[in-house]
């Protein structure tokens, strides 16, 4: 698989992230759903405008990444600003895990959640 | 790999009530049909994106420096299934090769479980992925994608993969929606059985 980030202009990625390269990745998952809480305002950087427009309906971080054509890690940095100002909110994945025996890692999703997944798949 | 920019404007948005994103990972060697399977069951045309990380970041909870010289990029495909008003299942097609594995632990942390998609003509491609899933304690099933002419029984495949008896092994046709759906159901039933067993045996 060819590394397509090489196609990107590194200067552009540096600019859109304001030079930042690290973010609390634990806070935002690939499938965290992002929802806009406000409309884009004038003077906003174009990536933020695109995110706000896209997330009028809940949109997963990984979908934002695909739509913007930017690596997930860059999108997470962009989202930090919007989350900080309350322009978007995040709906984090919630998987209840059943307690596992000591030394057993990781724990399994709880049966009730899996039952709901099963019903959803069977209804496809 | 699909275009990243296609049908952006026509893609069905999620329901406004969607709140819980779940993950299942489909892993396998190059050309085994991961994206085909995602496409068969996804409600959107599969999308492609990429993640960049550094080896130095393994096990540390932070993302990679985009300017870092040792940054590695991995591309992956995904699709989604709205399970109900709140739950959305994302399906990720992930490269199973050894050189990508260090990305996995971070990228797919929190997955419900995994499907290892195998091509019986290239079973060796799956050994590493299976080994890592077992080591990591991620529950999985194995699905043999039918590339025509079953030359091996499932028992032979199980032996060749050195698969323990409790791991389900199923046949599938990744091009078929029903067949791919059955694979996901087999995985979730397996997870449910494991989870229920664990709950009743403290």
- With beta carbons under 8 A apart, name residues in chain B contacting A5: 50, 52, 71, 73
Residues A116 and A67 in one domain: no
Q: Are residues A113 and A86 in the same domain?
A: no
- Whether residue B8 is predicted with pLDDT greater than 90 in this model: the reply is no
Same domain, A49 and A104: no
B191, with CB counted inside 10 A (0-12, 13-18, 19+), is: buried
Q: Which residue in B90, B54, B49 sits closest to B70, CA to CA? A: B54
pTM recorded for the entire structure: 0.85
Q: Which residues of B touch A121 (CB under 8 A)?
A: 81, 83, 89, 181, 184-185, 188
Query: Do A22 and A36 belong to one domain?
Result: yes
Q: Cα A3 to chain center, whole Å?
A: 21
Task: Summarize pLDDT for B114-127 with one digit per residue, the tens.
Answer: 999 999 888 888 88
Domain around A51: 4-91
**Predicted confidence (pLDDT) per residue in B36-78, tens digit:** 999 999 999 999 998 876 655 444 444 444 444 567 778 889 9
Is B112 strand, coil or helix?
coil
Chain B CB within 8 Å of residue A27 CB: no
Closest CA to A71 of A18, A19, A30: A30
Q: How many domains does chain A have?
A: 2
For chain B, domains (ranges, CATH) are 20-200 (3.40.50.300)
Residues A35 and A82 in one domain: yes
Question: Which residues, other chains included, contact B145 with Cβ-Cβ below 8 Å and sequence gap of 6+?
Answer: B28, B32, B33, B37, B117, B118, B119, B172, B173, B174
Q: Kindly state whether residues A60 and A120 are assigned to the same domain.
A: no
The sign of the dihedral angle between the CA atoms of B26, B28, B31, B33 is negative
- Collapsed DSSP state (helix, strand, coil) of residue B132: helix
What does the pLDDT read at residue B2?
A: 46
If you search the block for the tokens 């995994």, which residue do you land on? B114
């Amino acid at each position: 698989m060819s590394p397509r980030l090489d196609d990107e202009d590194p200067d552009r990625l540096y600019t859109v992230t304001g030079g930042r390269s690290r973010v609390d990745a634990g806070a935002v998952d690939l499938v965290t759903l992002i929802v806009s809480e406000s409309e884009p305002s004038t003077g906003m950087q174009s990536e933020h405008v695109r995110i706000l427009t896209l997330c009028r309906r809940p949109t997963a971080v990984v979908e934002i990444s695909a739509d913007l054509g930017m690596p997930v890690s860059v999108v997470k940095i962009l989202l930090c600003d919007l989350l900080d100002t309350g322009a978007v909110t995040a709906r984090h994945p919630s998987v209840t895990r059943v307690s596992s025996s000591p030394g057993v890692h990781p724990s399994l999703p709880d049966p009730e959640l899996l039952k709901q997944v099963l019903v959803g798949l069977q209804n496809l | 790999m699909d275009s990243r920019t296609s049908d952006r404007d026509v893609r069905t948005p999620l329901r406004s009530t969607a709140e819980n994103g779940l993950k299942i990972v489909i892993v396998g060697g190059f050309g085994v049909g991961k994206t085909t399977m995602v496409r068969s069951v996804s409600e959107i045309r599969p999308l492609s994106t990429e993640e960049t990380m550094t080896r130095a970041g393994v096990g540390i909870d932070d993302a990679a420096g985009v300017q870092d010289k040792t940054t590695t990029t991995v591309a992956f495909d995904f699709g989604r299934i709205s399970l109900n008003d709140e739950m959305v299942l994302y399906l990720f097609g992930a490269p199973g090769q050894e050189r990508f594995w260090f990305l996995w632990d971070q990228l797919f942390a929190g997955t419900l479980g995994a499907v290892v998609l195998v091509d019986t003509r290239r079973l060796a491609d799956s050994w590493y992925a299976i080994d890592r899933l077992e080591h990591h304690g991620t529950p999985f099933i194995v699905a043999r994608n039918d590339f025509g002419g079953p030359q091996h029984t499932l028992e032979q495949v199980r032996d060749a993969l050195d698969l323990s008896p409790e791991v389900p092994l199923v046949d599938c046709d990744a091009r078929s929606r029903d067949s791919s759906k059955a694979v996901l159901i087999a995985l979730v039933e397996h997870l449910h059985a494991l989870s229920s067993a664990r709950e009743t045996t403290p």
